[in-house]
Amino acid sequence: RKLAKVLRGDNFQVTATLDYAQRRSRNPRLVNIEPGDTTQKHFALAVDIGTTTVWVQLLDLAKGEIVGQGADYNAQMSYGDDVISRIIYSQKEKGLETLQKVVVNTINGIIHRLLKRHHLPVEEISHLTVAGNTTMTHLFFSIDPRYIRLAPYVPTVCHVPPVRARHLGLDLPEHVFIYTVSSVSSYVGGDIVAGVLASGIYKDPKLTLYIDIGTNGEIVIGNQEWLACAACSAGPAFEGGGIRYGMRAAKGAVEEVSLNPETGEPMLLTIDMVKPKGICGSGLINLLAALMEAGLLGPNGRFRDDLKSPRLREGENGREYVLAWAQETQSGEDLTLSEVDIDNLMRAKAAMFAGYLTLLDSVGLKLQDLQQVILAGAFGSFINLENAIAIGLLPDLPRECFQFVGNGSLMGASLLAFSRELLEEERRVADMMTNFELSETPGFMDQYIAALFLPHTQADYFPTVTRRLRGAKG
């Protein structure tokens, strides 16, 4: 309809945008045509739809640069904190429609702020790439997610074809298509596939363990020859869930803790250096390790009865350690960590560690065979490696094996936005990932029970931790 006008807009010199991602056709599809040479004015958007947070990056396609990024809480949180509660809500009348609309509104808000901040017209956006876990992908496209949580736990769709952004309610021009990273299974989604792409383990000869520590606790093991993956269902403890004074990493969250070995008195550091409000995931790991090293906490996750300390007392949920007194906190309440809180943390870390061992055993390998461990996710960027190993969350391997990649999902979505070849590659990578359902895998529960100990019932899994704790005692 606009072709005749565009052709004459700059003396028949035009810039054409082609879509090569239609896998059923060998020929590219013309999606946009503009008068003149606009090749230096083409931008893309990369979106990571997280259960808690939505991230968007603005990308300059001509320069191959990240122009800026923005984030906001996923507005779906008003309808459930986790994927299961949102799947349940989606079954209510107009529930799916509501969840789709609010996450689109969240994305629209971030995009509007980014474009305004960088003085860019929306017409210069060429395309958009999206990565998210399987449930978030279903909800974004308004696809019924109920079968994700029903046996045999098969999602409605794993590979989504390109879709016009405007058809989903995004405030973007008609020519903008959405390209979505493929999922593998109900609980290993496009966010993990994007992370595998970003980290490059699918083309690396080194045997690698890729870990995204979060509520689902996804893990991938493999190299350029093969990839195996699983979700550990770790729960929300390391994101502050199920912990009385747990919170997400935000202003006032305790993130670093050390204890005086003689007195048990704490020294803490909060985000933005304000009075403590709660404890975030990294703070919980550091506190747990500090309590172990100070000898206040036994391997069974119980505070020692024979120790006298004003910081240890009986609370509503058993014995507890007072991290900060009421006059030192924002709420005016004592900030504590109870044995019930510790139980929740131990279950979360046990699920992760049992997942590593079970997945390795399923492919005939052991921890010692790993040559590289990659930690992904915003949480992984702030984790204290030594303390995470000390509590048994991460394997006790040579420290040079560990790498941090940050938000692998967003990084992968960005790379796809820049690269047509990678856009074609992502489905092949998803297809080479063999999923294991740990709940149905022999030995997982035995490994899980064995890991409900600090750091583990088998001390030989953690030789450096054993030496560290012995040194602390004396």
* Encoded amino acid at 183, one letter: S
Sign (positive/negative) of CA torsion 143, 146, 151, 153? Answer: positive
Residue 63, judged by CB atoms within 10 A of its CB (0-12, 13-18, 19+), counts as: exposed
Cβ contacts of 220 within 8 Å, gap of 6 or more? 188, 192, 195, 196, 201, 208, 209, 210, 227, 228, 229, 433
pLDDT at residue 305, as a whole number: 84
pLDDT at residue 9, as a whole number: 62
Which of 21 and 262 is assigned the larger pLDDT? 262
pLDDT at residue 248, as a whole number: 85
pLDDT at residue 36, as a whole number: 57
pLDDT at residue 22, as a whole number: 54
Query: Do the Cβ atoms of 44 and 115 come closer than 8 Å?
Result: no
Query: What's the CATH code, domain 40-180?
Result: 3.30.420.480
70-84, 99-113, 319-333: segment of lowest average pLDDT: 70-84
Q: What is the mean pLDDT of residues 19-25?
A: 58
6-10, 184-188, 356-360: segment of lowest average pLDDT: 6-10
Q: What is the mean pLDDT of residues 377-398?
A: 90
> pLDDT grade, residue 473 (50/70/90)?
low
pLDDT at residue 329, as a whole number: 97
Cβ contacts of 24 within 8 Å, gap of 6 or more? none
Mean model confidence pLDDT for the chain:
91
> pLDDT grade, residue 382 (50/70/90)?
confident
Q: What is the mean pLDDT of residues 446-455?
A: 97
Q: In this predicted model, what pLDDT tens digit does every residue of 89-124 receive, in sequence order? A: 999 999 999 999 999 999 999 999 999 999 999 999
Q: Cα 88 to the chain's mean position, in Å?
A: 22
**Is it the case that residue 14 has pLDDT exceeding 80?**
no
DSSP code at position 297: B
> pLDDT grade, residue 240 (50/70/90)?
confident
> pLDDT grade, residue 171 (50/70/90)?
very high
Q: What is the mean pLDDT of residues 232-249?
A: 88
- For Cα atoms 304, 310, 313, give the angle at the middle one, nearest 5 degrees: 55
Q: In this predicted model, what pLDDT tens digit does every residue of 125-163 receive, in sequence order? A: 999 999 999 999 999 999 999 999 998 889 999 999 999
**Is it the case that residue 23 has pLDDT exceeding 70?**
no
User: pTM higher than 0.75, yes or no?
Assistant: yes
Sign (positive/negative) of CA torsion 376, 377, 381, 386? Answer: negative
Residue limits of CATH 3.30.420.480 in the chain: 40-180
Which of 2 and 453 is assigned the larger pLDDT? 453
pLDDT at residue 40, as a whole number: 61
> pLDDT grade, residue 470 (50/70/90)?
confident
pLDDT at residue 239, as a whole number: 82
In percent, the amount of the chain with pLDDT more than 70 equals: 91
> pLDDT grade, residue 402 (50/70/90)?
very high
**Is it the case that residue 306 has pLDDT exceeding 90?**
no
Q: What is the mean pLDDT of residues 57-81?
A: 94
How far lies 386's CA from each of 209, 345, 462, in Å? Answer: 17, 17, 11
**Is it the case that residue 33 has pLDDT exceeding 70?**
no
Query: Which value, in Å, is the radius of gyration of the alpha carbons in the chain?
Result: 24
Parallel, antiparallel, or unpaired: how do β-strands 14-19 and 29-35 relate? antiparallel
